Structure 1
């Protein structure tokens, strides 16, 4: 009788696993604390508890996240504020949660150069990729002072801060929580130009899906949101544990623990991430 009971439990668990819905999430950048809530929701079983078998897909250079979702290659994606432009261009997407309540994306320059105001950007060398030239906040900040990217020398982005330090370029965009740490760690004095200081404050790291997927799978979307937000709440309530998790399983950038702790502290200090997240 006991043997039959054990078999029953075993096959019941297999059936429960088989009934779970496979879901894919496409990240918009390399693994770091920026996506901690998703990692935690996966590793702590928050997705599984709601019947979701989630796969987190790593970022690949040149990937168009919006098209990835619209073409059904991923069920959910994380995008920048440029998703608002996609939506205005009739892209069939629905924005679910703004994970970053304010954008950590700023422009960096060295403190000892002659760039002190936005108008000083004229003819300066900026390292930026095509996607970031349409980033709403940065573009708005420039336009507010009658500067456009056409007024600057555009360099293809290498993501290497040594290009800034060596003065190969004059300006580069990046997250305050990432590039700021790298420069401070090298004891490099720098300046930032933050769109928020010019009245351009937008959401960032927006969780989204296609309108069709949301229509066809309303419960999956609801459960994915619920588990994700639970993951973020846990990540910020248990920062040290979450950092150790990233170091152990998601540290593809080979960052140090201090780098991750710097990142999370900046995000909290700047009120970039809140546990009470806005649903769009």
Structure 2
């Protein structure tokens, strides 16, 4: 009997690697399209991947960088299953008939700013009149346009205006190209370009920073989305899981990753740096990737730890904030009508969190 028991134990040990491989093979492959290059803006995703939170949900998640292109097309064509983007991208795509669906809101506060030198004498948005403002293309200019419209200013971006009060200068995301020589104010995210401007030799105490959310322009940024096709799939990639169930698992693990990253920022930065390329470095005197990503992690934590997150509802799209965003985009003429109800699917967040 002892020999039989020993043989049985040896057989189980021999089969263990095969069983583990079979279990690993059962993880569901998921492609998630990030809105930019790898950096701390996406720390929660990289942490969820590195700490095994996705694997614990049975997912094998591949994080795809995209640079300055919109992730909408990648997800809409099926080259990626899920993606991150800003609310303006999502809603304008939906208006164009692309069936993308909001499933989780990670950043609850906008990090969009306009930055000038204090020596310029620009102390309030009303002072933008007659100035040159550096903005990003492809829909990323909407917060700046909204802020200026609130103060009765028109821009050269509007072809129907013959004598605009503000000259918009489109530039490709690197503030050193235009600031301060070619523009009086420049677009900058709190977590990225603002630190790059500091690195160019302009310390914070020499800068005037206009954060659009302080002026009631809180167009939401980093969110998670998918398509109706993916969410309605009854057997996602042959996994036996529905697309909505896979989405809930993805959102649950991502929120866990973000919560961990915010609580353990130094460790999160270390995880991000493993995935970083040249874009992880700052500019000029802030050329250290670690210094820039440490700044970035601290700033994105502020955008995540706001609104519903502080109420224990991380990832939740507050209906009042969403309605305000839609109203603002309609007032700018960017949206012609209210988005369909299907543009947001709260069922995914509810399934992910167990909350209503």
How high is the TM-score relative to the length of structure 1?
A: 0.89
Q: CA RMSD in A?
A: 2.2
Does the 8 Å CA contact 1:183/1:190 hold for their aligned counterparts?
A: no
Size of the aligned set, in residue pairs, is: 278
User: Aligned equivalents of 1:223 and 1:269: distance in 2?
Assistant: 25
Aligned position for 1:22: 29
What SS class does the counterpart of residue 100 from structure 1 fall into? coil
Alpha carbons 1:23, 1:53 under 8 Å: kept: yes
1:241 aligned residue: 267
1:226 has 2:216 as partner: no
Q: Which runs of 5+ in 2 are unaligned?
A: 1-6, 157-163, 234-242, 282-288, 318-356
State which structure, 1 or 2, has the greater radius of gyration over its C-alpha atoms.
2
Match of 1:213 among 230, 252, 265: 230
Q: Please, which moves more after superposition, 262-271 or 208-217?
A: 262-271
2:127 paired residue among 102, 107, 120: 120
SS in 2 for 1:131: coil
Match of 1:129 in 2: 136
Among candidates 62, 77, 102, match of residue 95 of structure 1: 102
Q: In the TM superposition, what is the alpha-carbon distance from 1:204 to its structure 2 partner?
A: 1.3
Equivalent of residue 145 in structure 1, options 147, 151, 160: 151
Q: 1:98 to 1:271 in 2, by over 3 A?
A: closer
1:20–1:35 Cα change, 3 Å: same
What whole-Å deviation, never above 9, does each CA across 1:230-257 have from its counterpart, x for those lacking one? 1111111211111111223324424332
2: distance between equivalents of 1:272 and 1:5? 48
2:186 corresponds, among 172, 175, 181, to 172
The CA distance in 2 between the partners of 1:7 and 1:35, in whole Å, is 40
Superposition deviation, residue 198 in structure 1: 2.0
With 167-176 and 1-10 compared, the bigger mean Cα shift is at 1-10
State the shift of 1:223 in Å: 0.6
Encode CA deviations 1:12-66: one digit per residue, 9 max, x unaligned: 11111222111111111122111000001111111111111111001233x2211
Q: Does 1:267 align with 2:300?
A: yes
Give yes or no for the alignment of 1:33 onto 2:40: yes
Misfit runs of 4+, over 6 Å? none
Displacement of 1:219 after TM fit?
Answer: 1.2
Aligned with residue 183 of structure 1, among 187, 190, 197: 197
Alpha-carbon distance in 2 for matches of 1:36, 1:131:
24
Higher relative contact order (CA 8 A, sep 6+): 1
Please give the alpha-carbon distance, in whole angstroms, between the structure 1 residues aligned to 2:140 and 2:130: 16
Q: Deviations over 1:129-152 (max 9, x none)?
A: 3224553x3332111112233233
| Partner of residue 348, structure 2 | none
SS in 1 for 2:232: helix
Following the alignment from structure 1 to structure 2, what is the Cα–Cα distance between the partners of residues 206 and 43? 21
Q: Check the 8 A contact 2:116/2:208 in 1, yes or no.
A: yes
Per the alignment, residue 12 of structure 2 pairs with 5
Secondary structure in 2 aligned to 1:154?
strand
Bigger shift: 31-40 or 243-252?
Answer: 243-252
Matched, 1:73 2:90: no
Secondary structure of the residue aligned to 2:11 is helix
The TM-score, its normalising length taken from structure 2, stands at 0.71
Q: Render the CA deviation track for 1:187-217: whole Å, top value 9, x for unaligned.
A: 4421122222221223210111111111111
